[in-house]
Structure 1
Amino acid sequence: MSLQAEGTVKKSLMGMGTWTLVTDGQTYEIHKGAPDGLLVEGQKVRVNGEVRKDVMTMAMVGPVLDVKSFEPMG
């Protein structure tokens, strides 16, 4: 499922540690292989990606988001 979302990138210590995108209503786990520059704690971004229903993770903090592109906000 394609997704456009705005939120804040955060590091989660769940499992072995993972990166998340926290939006107003949902927390997504950022899938491995994220674009360079995305994984910055506290960065506010607008992302385009795909929610991967075929992927499970150890952290299980939310749906897995395969980010295709992003744009920093502010």
Structure 2
Amino acid sequence: MQIITTAAAADNAAYFAAVTNADRRAQHSYFDQHVIQDDELGYFAIDEGDYGALTPTLIDRIVYTAPGGIIDEI
């Protein structure tokens, strides 16, 4: 039996909440949604379109990407 500590459970919950948020936002966006891991903030989702070109430091902290769901090509 594996025991999950409270901190690990909270970390997992934060990760899955950010993934859910990114997936939901991606359905209505032209841009990819990334989940970023941050030591101070935990996990959060960003819209690639809000940040333009992502810095290499930010790219290295991406742990999940949901592709944008709106296609602008006809």
Which category of TM-score, normalised to the shorter sequence, fits these structures?
under 0.3
TM normalised by structure 1 equals: 0.26
More strand by share: 1
| Greater Rg over alpha carbons, structure | 2
TM normalised by structure 2 equals: 0.26
